[in-house]
Every structure is written in structure tokens, then in C-alpha cells.
């Protein structure tokens, strides 16, 4: 589904990603593990076209996307949920969803606000609330729901559990599992092992911009703990 | 010896009670964790302690001196150091210059137009950098530092004032597990050496239960539990509102 | 004042509020989405006026208005596609500079197309008469204008709240990258927003032609008014712009009605200063999202190398021997360059390390110049004393204005500096008896021993070099570090006991002092001064100098001042449309060399 070959990136003169290679398939959760500054968020932004192209080849559903602007990539069915959530705080829940809306897509679930309110019942209870008046956990749900409005075939999730109370983290994990069951491809950036353990089928360990190890979560996990 | 003492602290914003009658103390050399769900009042509590917002009622004392009504700068002079959740350092300066600026501020020399800042307090700055373990990066600009190292720069800057109390807002956010333990051990060691009281907020329960001497749990503006980590962990109310059913 | 005349003034205020609102709403909309403060918005208004006046004889007034508005809207779309699109990721300052370049180009285009004379427009057919209100006659056309404001507000409100386009615009206003990542095509969105904003400006201009003639000077006048309205209302808030337009429109109307018309220029800026101090983000504005690590992109600056110091000394020595080799014109030009270099370095001190963007730095330059003139002519002091004491005028103003300014940051601070500069300008411009009004002061010649070009060149050389050296030196002192600390991270600076506002205030005054010295030198070198010495274009000259040289280098502003002064001097002599040429050069530089000349030198030397 998502294929990354030789991906590099740099801020100014400082190179932050070196030749990343990985593949994520439909219906699976691939975790990118690593501490802050290891390059996880940069990799996601780079895939999403939010950072200027450097080198490497990114294919999504077979098509090259590495030279496309973000909105084109999103319209191909790749969704992105950033680390800071980036809810539109002046817009209501419904309006936030409207921004993410795209036409139905072949080979992907067709999401409507009502279907999303079934997946995230507490969002359904606050449809007119402004994004800025929601708690961190609610914003996280909205960020995921907003991306689903684009009927994506794959989503990039950047640390969805960061800063949330353990009890809310469980709800987020539940929702991600549900999406996976529906056949979505999920690329999950995570530094929290405990959370990744609940969800990931496979993992890559990122260290200083390089993939240090990849494979099953158990194999990668032991290396990560030693960092 | 109690360094920080907070009694019946209350604060509300537009009808919402962010803090209602919170009381606790932190002793010299002690590490105390303040945890709770988002919106429980942790941020408000920190803001009141360091003078960014005013309390409605209650008392906050550092070594017996009231901190209420003082500006952040006055509170800093009395000996309260801070680190931030998202590191805040001076990006256009080198690591050493960051610490030198803090030292110059402590000596009230930042109005000097004559002396060369780059030559001021070099030894003291290097001693602090050595304590937090980044002396070898002293000449590097902060803008290019790794995240974990920035946290250390912040710690060195906070220590430049020889604080009685260190406030750390989510000190390990954004770090790898191994690194988290390392930073907390460093902070704990420094605190014990200097007899500094440490109060920190944290979302990583592993860090909290490994490194804190005591844990305070805030929920909806009230302190619902406090005590030794194992006691708090087993508390039924804490599991219900914060830790959840799973193994946290 | 009778009740009837109060009512009449009130209605007058409403009528002028309408056209203010049209311009301000467009400016606010464009800023909200693109984060670009469009300096050329007043020029679009002016084009709307000229276009309507030109079209009216052929199609009649009522067709000329929508056609002119559409034409200006289409021009807006073209400008967005050709120019602004390249600037969205550029630093704020370059964006402002690029739109100011448009001001210069559009002004010269209008000069070329319609000539320098004011053009009177037709009256509105069907609305030529007046209605009787409380015994007085009130023009029918003004009643129509009063209705226009709320109609446009309601239409914009519906558009933004009820349509998908509006939802996307509001989303992009807040976080355009996120909207982009959700599949929103920014190019169409930004292009349409810019076109709509331009259309509103053009409409505002076209609707104004029955009331006043089209003139070339209206661009800066309108943009200053619109800035005030937008900042008072809150950047990006359309209802805020409406409220502020009413407020300003009424206050101005009553000032005229009460017979204080000489205060109208200043009064709106006083209102703005008060609002900004009480509500820093405007009446209905919100605190802008914190800028992520503003200082993070600033290069660390190390102590200069021995080689660099030697090169600077060599340049200084070369400047000392110039009079031995050359005279006349070269010395006059070099004198200008030196004092403008001092001015530019003081502005750089404020904007670069100080982190305070100023659009009104000429106020301090001009006050230094007027201080010198007034001391010499009115107080009849000696030239030496006048030169020494003149900068105190600038210092006094910087102390007062700076106190307000350091309470704000970013674009808001820049707007406030502009406001104070405009107040200063309007006082100087209108106080005929004391400052000579629009004619300025003449006969400010240096004392006998300095009257020669060579002698005055040496005085300027010594003073400028000493001033520049002093500012550079202070940046390496603890004070300079404290300033940079406050810019890089106000949060951290506060947490290590730095009084950021006090340090910034002192920095503001320090920069004002040296600008004042440059102004005093200027007054004696020219022998006369006019209000132009402290008008907005002079402030922009300073910004252009700093940006030409590059904000991130210490010596950049000096090279920038040299190039700009030389360019202005050589181009302005032989060509009517020299402003457009300077505008084109700015655009070229902003797009091709965004780091300034200094960045080229640095890239060379680091190779």
C-alpha cells in the first residue's frame, strides 16, 4: 500500500533522515518507534509532502507521490493525523469534519459524520462545540475522525497517545484497532512502547534518522529499551 | 525540612474551579510527582506556583516566605528554577552562552553595555554543564542540539540560580525510555546533592512510579490521593479516574 | 453643537465608515488566510477609483462601479498567482516589503496612465439629491453608502459561515498546512481570497468617486486608515473590522464637526494606541498562536574573527582618505550613505537582535532632524549644541512610544510603531507655526568651520562609524545577550529573571537615539528638512536597506544602505518613474536573494 525507498530529508544543512526503506500493507499497523528527534515526525511530514522533497521514492497504491503537494496526496487517499492534533479550534466539530470531507473512494470505507459519531460516541454528543473547547482526548478523537472524512486507504498517525491520560489512551487504541479491522493501512509513530505493543503488527526502530532494526515488535522492542 | 508548602490553594476561571483547596508540601531533596487527567488543574497549579497566574485563596510559601502576588522574576530570584514541557532555550546562542546568560542574570549584570558576555562566568558555566553531562557540547548552538540534550541545557540553566525548588513540567516528554530514566536519575541525584526540592508533572507512569518519592493525584481541581507510589497506584479512585483498568 | 448637527455628524461618520470597512474587510480577510499584511491594499483602492473614473464616461457610473471592482479583483488574482504565491513561506518582513514594492509600482503605473492631476468622478445618477434630516440636507448618495457597509458585512458573514468555501477559508486561516494535508487545495483558496479582498478594495475605491477625486496620494492614506481599522478590530476578524470602522469613522467625523479637523490625522492613531494597550489583539481579535521558536532560525553569532575586524578597519581607513582623492558629488553621496548606514544599523539593532519589527523608525530619524533644525532656528543655539542635543528629541519620543510598543509583539508591534510614526508626522505636518508644516524648515546650515563638504564629511564619518561600532559592541555585551534572549524565548528569559519588557524598552530607546543622531546629521547636510524626513516611505527606505543587506548579518545593513542610497540617487535623477524601478528591484531581490546581500558575501567567504 505504502512503499518508501531511500527516503532522506534535511533541515537546512542538518540531515535528519538517511535512506529510510519500509513498506506498509493494507490491514496492518506498522509502528515507527524512536525517541523525539529520531526523525519519526519528519518522516511522516515528508511522506505527506509537508517538507520539501529531498531524495527517495515514495509510492502509494503503486503511484509515485514524492513530488506531489500535500493536498494531492491527501486526495489519493492518504490521511495524516499530526502529533499536535492541530484541530481547527475556531471551528465546530461538524465544521472540522467538513474540512476533511472528500468524495467517496473505491476500495475504501465511505465515512459520514453519522458513521464517525458511532465510532466516537462522545464526539456525537458535542457536534456544535468549538474545537478549542475540547479536552486533549476529545481533540485526538476529532483529529482522527477528521482525517477519516477523506475516506483514506491509509493513515499516518503521529503519537496519538502523547499527553493523554492512560484511560483515554485505551479508548484511542480501541478506535485504531477498529480501523485496522476495516482494512485500513496504519503507519503509527510512537515512542511509547506500551501503546505500540497493543497495536503494532510490525515495527521499525528509528535512531538518529536511520532505521536501526525492523521486524516483529518483540524483536525491535528489546533494542529500543536499550537506547 | 519542608521547602515548598501549599495550603488550601483555590483558583477558578470564569466559573470553572480549576483548583479547590489543594494542600501539599515538598521537602528538601525530595522528588514529588503531580499527576492527573488533562484539565485536572496541574497546569493551573504550576502557573500559580511560578507566578504566572494569581490564586483566589490559599497560601504558597517557599522556606516560609509567601510567593503569592510575586512576579515570575521575583519568584525566580527567591530560588525557584523551572524546566518546560517543550524545551525553551535561546536558539541563537551556544549551549555555554545559554548558561552564561542565566548566570549573568543571577548576578544582575545583564544591563552591562561594556563587558564581553562571551568571556563572562565561563568557569561557572562549564561547571554546570559538566554536572548535567554536556560540557563537550558547550560550543554548539542550541538550535542544532538533540532533544534530550536540550532538556539538559534547561536543567543547567535552572540550576544556575542554585534553586531551592525545581519545577519540572513533563520533564521526560518526547524522550526514549532509556533516556527518560537517565534524565530522571540525573535530576534526582542533583536534587539530593544540593538538597533541592523537586516537583514535577508527568504522563509516563513508569517514570512516576520509578523515580518519585511521593505522588500527588489531582482530579477536577482536587487532590484525590497522595502518598508513596505503590500506595497511590493501588488506590481505587485513582485507577477509576486516571490510571484505568489496564496495567499502567 | 445642536442635536441636529450631532445627528448629521453621526451620519457622516457612518458613511465614511462604510468605505473604510470595505477596504479593511478585504485586508483582514487576506491577512487571515495568507498571513500577508498587504501594503498594496490602498493601491488597489486607488486603482478602483481611477478605473471607475475612467470607465464611467463609457458605461455610466452604475456600471463603472462593479466593472472597476471586478477588474481590480482580477488584478488581485493575477498578483497572487505571479508574486504572492512565491512568498507564503517567506519571512513576514520580506512579504511586507514585496507588497510595498507593489505600492511603488502601482503608483507609477497610475501616474503614467492617468497623469499627476486629481481626477473628478461623476455623481451617481438617481442619487444626486439630498434628503432633509433634522432640518439639514444630507446627500442621498451617502445614505446609499451607509447601507453598503452592513450589506457587505452580512454577505461576507454568510459566505464565511454558510458555505464550504467559507469553512475552508476559516480552517486555512488557522492552520493552512493542516488544511493542505486534509486535501484542501491552497492555491485556489488563497487565490480566491486574494481576489475577493482586492475586489472589495476596488469596490470601496469605485464607490468613493462621487465623494472625492481620484488622487495618487490616496494609496498610503487609505492603507494607514485600513491598518488602523484592522488592528483596532483585531487582525483577521471581519466583524471586528466593521466595529472598528464605525468607531474610527465616527471619531473622525466628530473631530471635523467640532472644529478640530487638524487632529483627524492623529486621532485615529491615538484610538489605536489606546485599544492596543487595553486589548493587545484588538476589539474582537484573538491572541495569535505562539510563533514556534522565533529565534530558532537565527544563526548563532560568534565574536568577529581577527580577519573580519581588520577588513572593517581597512574600510574605515579607506573612507578617511576619500576626500584626498575625490570631492564634490562623491563626498555628498558618501555623506548620505554614511548617515543612512547609521540609520539602517539602528533599525537592524531593533529588528534583528531586538526582535522588534518597526514600520516607523523614520520617526526617530525625523525627530533628530527636526530637533536640530528647531534648536538652531527657534532656540538659536550654536550648531554644535544643536547637533548634540537634537537626538534627545528622538530619545524622548522613543521613551514614550517604546513603553507602549514593547507590550506587543510581531505584526501588532509593527503596526503600533507605524501608528506612532504617523502621529509624529501629522503633528509635524500640521503645526505650521512651529515646524513650518508641509514646507518644513530651511536654512539649517552648519557653522562656518563645518560648512565645507570635506569637513562635514569627516564629522559624519566619525559620528556614524562611532555610532555603528557602539551598537555592534553592545550586541556582544550582556545587554545584547539579554535582548536576544528575550527574542529567542521570552518564556525562558522570564524564567531566568530577565525583565524582557524593560530590556526591550531600553533597546528601543537605544536604537531611537542612533536614528536621531543620523537624522541630525541629515538635517545639517541638506540645509533643510521637510515632513518627508519622518514619513512612512522613509521608514520603508530603512527596511529596504536592512533587507537588501540581510537581516541575519551585522554588516549587511551598511552595504544595504550604500546600495540603496546610491540607487536612489542615480535612478531618481534621470527618470520620472524611478519609484517603479526601485519597486521592481525590491521584488527581484526579495524573490531571488531572500537572505539579502550579506548572505551572498557570507556564502562566498564560507566557501
Please state which architecture CATH assigns to domain A25-52+69-205+213-226.
3-Layer(aba) Sandwich (3.40)
Is A71 within 8 Å of C171 when comparing Cβ atoms?
Answer: no
Is A227 within 8 Å of B176 when comparing Cβ atoms?
Answer: yes
Q: What angle do CA B235, B239, B245 make, to 5 degrees?
A: 135
In C, minimum Cα distance to B153 occurs at: C492
Query: Which residues on neighbouring strands pair with residue A92, listed in sequence order?
Result: A130
Q: How confident is the model at residue B25 (pLDDT cuts 50, 70, 90)?
A: very high
Q: Where are the alpha helices (DSSP H) in C125-263?
A: 140-162, 164-174, 176-181, 186-208, 218-233, 238-257
Is C174 within 8 Å of A91 when comparing Cβ atoms?
Answer: yes
Residue C92 reports pLDDT greater than 80: no
Residues of C in contact with A48 (CB under 8 A): 181
Place of cell 569627516: C458
Q: For the domain made up of C322-606, give the CATH fold.
A: ABC transporter involved in vitamin B12 uptake, BtuC (1.10.3470)
Q: How confident is the model at residue A54 (pLDDT cuts 50, 70, 90)?
A: low
Average pLDDT over residues C182-193: 91
Closest Cα of chain C to A142: distance in Å?
Answer: 13
Instruction: Indicate the average pLDDT of chain C.
Output: 87
Percent of chain A's residues with pLDDT above 90: 40
- Quote the cell numbers at residue A6: 531511500
Chain segment C16-40, per-residue pLDDT in tens? 899 889 999 999 899 888 888 888 9
Per-residue pLDDT, C218:
86
- Sign, CA torsion C471/C477/C482/C485: positive
Average pLDDT over residues C486-505: 92
Domains of chain B: 2-243 (3.40.50.300)
In A, minimum Cα distance to C169 occurs at: A99
Neighbours of B51 (CB within 10 A): 21
Per-residue pLDDT, B136:
92
A82/C contact by beta carbon, under 8 A: yes
Per-residue pLDDT, C601:
59
Helix (H), strand (E) at residue C584:
helix C578-592
Residues of A in contact with B173 (CB under 8 A): 36, 162-163
Taking only residues 99 to 118 of chain A, the set having a beta carbon closer than 8 angstroms to any beta carbon of chain C reads: 99-100, 102
Quick check: B215 and B33 in contact, CB under 8 A?
yes
Is C182 within 8 Å of A98 when comparing Cβ atoms?
Answer: no
Residue C10 reports pLDDT greater than 50: yes
Percent of chain C's residues with pLDDT above 90: 46
Residues of A in contact with B37 (CB under 8 A): 165, 167-168
Task: Could you list the beta-strand ranges (E) of chain A.
Answer: 2-11, 14-24, 29-33, 55-60, 63-64, 78-81, 154-158, 185-190, 202-207, 210-216
Provide the residue ranges of all domains of chain C, joining segments of one domain with +.
15-216, 322-606
In A, minimum Cα distance to B147 occurs at: A37
Average pLDDT over residues B169-194: 84
Distance separating alpha carbons of residues A139 and C102, to the nearest angstrom:
42
Query: Which residues on neighbouring strands pair with residue B166, listed in sequence order?
Result: B81, B198
Residue A11 reports pLDDT greater than 80: no
Distance separating alpha carbons of residues A203 and A217, to the nearest angstrom:
5
Question: Over the Cα atoms of chain B, what is R_g?
Answer: 18
Is A166 within 8 Å of B243 when comparing Cβ atoms?
Answer: yes
Q: How confident is the model at residue C500 (pLDDT cuts 50, 70, 90)?
A: very high
Place of cell 544582575: B108
Residue B60 CA, chain-centre distance (Å), reads 16
The residue with greater pLDDT, B164 or C87, is B164
Average pLDDT over residues B76-101: 91
Residues of C in contact with A70 (CB under 8 A): 177, 180-181
**Which of C168, C177, C186 has the CB atom closest to A99's CB atom?**
C168
Q: How confident is the model at residue C463 (pLDDT cuts 50, 70, 90)?
A: very high
DSSP one-letter code for B243: I
Average pLDDT over residues A141-147: 93
Per-residue pLDDT, C293:
37
Residues of A in contact with B170 (CB under 8 A): 163
In C, minimum Cα distance to A46 occurs at: C181
**Closest to B142 measured CA to CA, from B183, B92, B215:** B92
Distance separating alpha carbons of residues C331 and C322, to the nearest angstrom:
8
Task: Could you list the beta-strand ranges (E) of C422-480.
Answer: 441-442
**Closest to B39 measured CA to CA, from A81, A171, A139:** A139
Distance separating alpha carbons of residues B23 and B37, to the nearest angstrom:
18
Kindly report the backbone phi and psi dihedral angles of residue C25, in degrees, each rounded to the nearest multiple of 5, phi listed first. Answer: -60, -45
Provide the residue ranges of all domains of chain A, joining segments of one domain with +.
25-52+69-205+213-226
Closest Cα of chain C to B182: distance in Å?
Answer: 23
Least confident segment among A10-24, B52-66, C174-188, C316-330: A10-24
Chain segment A165-221, per-residue pLDDT in tens? 788 888 889 889 989 998 899 999 988 888 888 899 999 998 888 888 888 888 887
Average pLDDT over residues B119-142: 92
Residue C398 reports pLDDT greater than 50: yes
Distance separating alpha carbons of residues C186 and C177, to the nearest angstrom:
9
Best residue in A13, A15, A35, A40 for a mutation probing chain B (most B CBs within 10 Å): A35
Per-residue pLDDT, B248:
39
CA distances from C113 to A197, C108, C116, C232, C511 (A): 71, 8, 9, 35, 41
Neighbours of C380 (CB within 10 A): 8
B89/C contact by beta carbon, under 8 A: yes
Per-residue pLDDT, C363:
95
Quick check: C566 and C573 in contact, CB under 8 A?
no
In B, minimum Cα distance to C483 occurs at: B110
Instruction: Indicate the average pLDDT of chain A.
Output: 87
Least confident segment among A23-27, B203-207, C339-343: B203-207
Is B92 within 8 Å of C300 when comparing Cβ atoms?
Answer: yes
The residue with greater pLDDT, C71 or C177, is C71
**Strands B2-13 and B16-27: what pairing?**
antiparallel
What subunits touch chain A, counting only 3 or more CB pairs under 8 A?
B, C
Quick check: A121 and A46 in contact, CB under 8 A?
no
ipTM above 0.95, yes or no: no
Closest Cα of chain A to C164: distance in Å?
Answer: 8
Q: How confident is the model at residue C303 (pLDDT cuts 50, 70, 90)?
A: confident
CA distances from A197 to A184, A203, B246 (A): 18, 10, 13
Quick check: C72 and C199 in contact, CB under 8 A?
yes
**Closest to B217 measured CA to CA, from B7, B22, B11, B66:** B22
The residue with greater pLDDT, C448 or B93, is B93
Which residues 6+ apart lie within 8 Å of A68 measured at CB? A49, A76
Q: Which residues of C430-455 are buried (b: 16+ CB within 10 A; e: fewer)?
A: beeeebbeeebbeebbbeeebeebee
Distance separating alpha carbons of residues B225 and B235, to the nearest angstrom:
8
Distance separating alpha carbons of residues C176 and C155, to the nearest angstrom:
24
Which residues 6+ apart lie within 8 Å of C201 measured at CB? C22, C23, C26, C27, C41, C42, C44, C45, C48, C72, C76
Taking only residues 155 to 194 of chain A, the set having a beta carbon closer than 8 angstroms to any beta carbon of chain C reads: none
| Greatest pairwise CA separation for chain B in angstroms | 62
B116/C contact by beta carbon, under 8 A: yes
Half-sphere exposure for B33 (CA within 13 Å, toward CB) = 30
Q: How confident is the model at residue C523 (pLDDT cuts 50, 70, 90)?
A: very high
**Which of B92, B115, B158 has the CB atom closest to C484's CB atom?**
B92
Average pLDDT over residues B5-26: 87
Considering only CB atoms, which residues of chain B are within 8 Å of chain A? Answer: 36-39, 144, 146-148, 170, 173-179, 203-205, 241-246, 248
Average pLDDT over residues C453-472: 93
Closest Cα of chain C to A154: distance in Å?
Answer: 13
Is B105 within 8 Å of C497 when comparing Cβ atoms?
Answer: yes
Quick check: A1 and A65 in contact, CB under 8 A?
no
Which residues 6+ apart lie within 8 Å of B91 measured at CB? B141, B142, B143, C293, C295, C296, C297, C298, C488, C489
Taking only residues 159 to 178 of chain A, the set having a beta carbon closer than 8 angstroms to any beta carbon of chain B reads: 162-170
Least confident segment among A10-24, C103-117, C452-466: A10-24
Kindly report the backbone phi and psi dihedral angles of residue A107, in degrees, each rounded to the nearest multiple of 5, phi listed first. Answer: 75, 15
Amino acid at each position: 500500500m505504502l512503499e518508501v525507498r531511500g527516503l532522506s530529508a534535511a533541515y537546512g544543512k542538518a540531515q535528519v533522515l538517511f535512506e529510510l526503506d519500509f513498506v506498509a500493507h493494507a490491514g496492518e499497523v506498522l509502528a515507527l518507534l524512536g525517541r523525539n528527534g529520531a526523525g519519526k515526525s519528519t518522516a511522516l511530514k515528508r511522506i505527506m509532502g509537508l517538507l520539501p522533497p529531498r531524495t527517495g521514492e515514495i509510492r502509494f497504491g503503486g503511484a509515485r507521490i514524492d513530488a506531489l503537494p500535500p493536498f494531492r496526496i491527501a486526495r489519493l487517499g492518504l490521511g495524516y493525523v499530526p502529533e499536535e492534533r492541530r484541530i481547527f479550534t475556531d471551528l465546530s466539530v461538524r465544521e472540522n469534519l467538513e474540512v476533511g470531507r472528500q468524495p467517496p473512494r473505491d476500495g475504501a470505507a465511505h465515512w459520514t459524520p453519522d458513521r464517525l459519531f458511532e465510532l466516537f460516541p462522545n464526539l456525537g454528543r458535542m457536534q456544535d462545540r468549538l474545537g478549542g473547547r475540547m479536552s486533549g482526548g476529545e481533540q485526538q478523537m476529532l483529529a482522527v475522525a477528521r482525517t477519516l472524512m477523506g475516506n483514506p486507504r491509509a493513515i499516518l498517525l503521529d503519537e496519538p497517545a502523547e499527553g493523554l491520560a492512560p484511560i483515554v489512551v485505551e479508548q484511542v487504541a480501541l478506535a485504531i484497532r477498529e480501523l485496522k479491522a476495516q482494512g485500513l493501512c496504519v503507519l503509527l509513530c510512537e515512542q511509547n512502547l506500551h501503546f505500540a505493543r497493543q497495536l503494532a503488527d510490525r515495527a521499525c526502530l528509528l535512531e538518529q534518522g536511520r532505521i536501526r532494526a525492523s521486524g516483529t515488535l518483540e524483536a525491535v522492542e528489546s533494542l529500543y529499551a536499550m537506547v | 525540612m519542608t521547602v515548598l508548602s501549599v495550603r488550601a490553594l483555590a483558583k477558578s476561571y470564569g466559573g470553572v474551579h480549576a483548583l479547590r483547596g489543594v494542600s501539599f508540601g515538598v521537602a528538601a531533596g525530595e522528588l514529588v510527582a503531580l499527576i492527573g487527567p488533562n484539565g485536572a488543574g496541574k497546569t493551573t497549579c504550576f502557573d500559580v506556583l511560578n507566578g504566572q497566574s494569581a490564586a483566589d485563596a490559599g497560601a504558597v510559601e517557599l522556606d516560609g516566605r509567601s510567593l503569592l502576588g510575586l512576579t515570575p522574576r521575583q519568584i525566580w530570584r527567591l530560588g525557584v528554577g523551572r524546566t518546560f514541557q517543550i524545551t525553551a532555550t535561546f536558539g541563537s546562542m551556544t549551549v555555554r552562552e545559554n548558561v552564561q546568560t542565566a548566570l549573568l542574570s543571577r548576578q544582575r549584570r545583564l544591563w552591562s553595555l561594556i563587558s564581553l558576555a562571551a568571556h563572562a562566568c565561563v568557569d561557572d558555566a562549564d561547571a554546570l554543564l559538566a554536572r548535567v553531562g554536556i560540557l563537550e557540547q558547550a560550543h554548539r548552538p542550541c538550535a542544532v542540539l538533540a532533544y534530550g540534550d536540550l532538556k539538559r541545557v534547561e536543567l543547567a540553566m535552572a540550576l544556575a540560580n542554585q534553586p531551592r525548588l525545581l519545577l519540572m513540567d513533563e520533564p521526560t516528554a518526547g524522550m526514549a525510555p532509556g533516556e527518560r530514566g537517565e534524565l530522571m536519575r540525573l535530576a534526582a541525584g542533583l536534587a539530593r546533592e544540593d538538597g533541592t526540592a523537586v516537583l514535577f508533572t508527568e504522563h509516563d507512569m513508569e517514570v512516576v512510579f520509578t523515580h518519585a518519592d511521593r505522588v500527588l493525584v489531582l482530579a477536577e481541581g482536587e487532590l484525590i490521593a497522595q502518598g508513596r507510589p505503590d500506595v497511590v497506584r493501588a488506590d481505587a479512585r485513582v485507577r477509576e479516574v486516571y490510571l484505568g483498568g489496564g496495567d499502567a | 453643537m445642536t442635536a441636529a448637527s450631532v445627528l448629521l455628524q453621526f451620519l457622516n461618520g457612518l458613511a465614511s465608515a462604510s468605505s473604510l470597512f470595505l477596504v479593511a474587510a478585504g485586508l483582514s480577510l487576506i491577512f487571515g488566510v495568507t498571513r500577508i499584511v498587504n501594503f498594496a491594499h490602498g493601491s488597489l483602492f486607488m486603482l478602483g477609483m481611477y478605473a471607475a473614473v475612467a470607465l464611467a464616461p463609457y458605461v455610466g457610473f452604475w456600471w463603472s462601479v462593479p466593472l472597476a471592482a471586478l477588474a481590480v479583483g482580477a488584478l488581485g488574482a493575477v498578483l497572487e498567482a505571479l508574486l504572492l504565491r512565491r512568498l507564503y513561506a517567506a519571512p513576514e518582513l520580506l512579504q511586507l516589503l514585496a507588497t510595498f514594492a507593489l505600492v511603488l509600482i502601482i503608483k507609477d503605473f497610475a501616474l503614467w496612465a492617468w497623469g499627476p492631476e486629481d481626477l473628478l468622478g461623476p455623481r451617481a445618477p438617481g442619487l444626486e439629491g439630498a434628503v432633509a434630516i433634522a432640518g439639514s440636507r444630507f446627500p442621498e448618495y451617502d445614505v446609499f453608502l451607509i447601507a453598503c457597509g452592513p450589506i457587505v458585512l452580512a454577505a461576507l458573514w454568510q459566505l464565511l459561515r454558510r458555505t464550504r468555501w467559507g469553512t475552508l477559508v476559516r480552517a486555512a486561516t488557522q492552520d493552512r498546512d493542516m488544511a493542505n494535508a486534509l486535501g484542501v487545495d491552497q492555491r485556489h483558496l488563497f487565490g480566491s481570497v486574494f481576489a475577493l479582498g482586492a475586489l472589495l478594495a476596488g469596490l470601496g475605491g469605485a464607490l468613493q468617486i462621487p465623494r472625492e477625486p481620484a488622487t495618487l496620494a490616496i494609496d498610503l492614506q487609505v492603507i494607514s486608515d485600513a491598518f488602523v481599522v484592522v488592528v483596532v478590530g483585531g487582525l483577521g476578524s471581519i466583524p471586528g473590522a466593521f466595529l472598528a470602522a464605525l468607531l474610527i469613522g465616527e471619531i473622525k467625523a466628530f473631530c471635523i464637526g467640532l472644529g478640530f479637523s487638524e487632529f483627524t490625522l492623529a486621532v485615529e492613531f491615538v484610538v489605536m494606541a489606546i485599544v492596543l494597550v487595553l486589548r493587545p489583539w484588538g476589539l474582537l481579535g484573538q491572541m495569535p498562536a505562539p510563533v514556534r521558536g522565533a529565534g530558532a532560525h537565527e544563526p548563532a553569532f560568534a565574536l568577529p574573527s581577527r580577519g573580519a575586524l581588520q577588513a572593517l578597519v581597512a574600510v574605515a581607513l579607506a573612507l578617511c582618505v576619500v576626500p584626498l582623492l575625490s570631492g564634490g558629488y562623491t563626498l555628498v553621496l558618501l555623506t548620505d550613505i554614511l548617515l543612512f548606514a547609521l540609520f539602517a544599523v539602528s533599525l537592524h539593532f531593533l529588528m534583528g537582535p531586538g526582535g522588534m519589527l518597526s514600520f516607523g523608525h523614520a520617526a526617530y530619524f525625523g525627530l533628530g532632524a527636526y530637533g536640530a533644525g528647531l534648536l538652531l532656528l527657534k532656540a538659536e543655539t550654536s550648531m554644535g549644541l544643536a547637533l548634540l542635543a537634537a537626538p534627545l528629541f528622538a530619545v524622548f519620543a522613543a521613551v514614550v512610544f517604546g513603553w507602549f510598543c514593547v507590550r506587543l509583539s510581531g505584526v501588532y508591534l509593527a503596526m503600533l510603531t507605524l501608528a506612532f510614526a504617523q502621529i509624529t508626522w501629522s503633528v509635524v505636518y500640521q503645526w505650521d507655526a512651529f515646524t513650518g508644516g508641509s514646507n518644513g524648515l530651511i536654512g539649517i546650515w552648519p557653522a562656518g568651520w563645518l560648512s565645507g563638504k570635506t569637513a562635514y564629511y569627516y564629522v559624519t564619518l566619525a559620528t556614524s562609524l562611532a555610532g555603528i561600532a557602539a551598537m555592534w559592541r553592545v550586541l556582544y555585551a550582556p545587554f545584547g545577550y539579554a535582548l536576544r534572549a528575550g527574542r529567542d524565548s521570552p518564556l525562558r528569559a522570564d524564567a531566568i529573571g530577565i525583565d524582557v519588557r524593560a530590556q526591550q524598552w531600553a533597546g528601543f530607546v537605544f536604537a531611537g537615539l542612533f536614528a536621531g543622531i543620523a537624522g541630525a546629521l541629515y538635517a545639517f547636510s541638506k540645509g533643510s528638512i521637510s515632513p518627508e524626513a519622518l514619513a512612512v516611505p522613509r521608514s520603508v527606505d530603512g527596511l529596504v536597506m536592512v533587507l537588501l543587506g540581510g537581516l541575519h548579518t551585522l554588516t549587511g545593513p551598511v552595504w544595504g544602505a550604500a546600495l540603496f542610497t546610491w540607487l536612489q540617487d542615480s535612478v531618481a535623477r534621470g527618470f520620472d518613474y524611478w519609484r517603479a524601478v526601485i519597486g521592481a528591484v525590491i521584488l527581484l531581490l526579495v524573490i531571488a536573494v531572500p537572505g539579502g546581500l550579506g548572505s551572498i558575501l557570507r556564502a562566498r567567504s564560507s566557501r
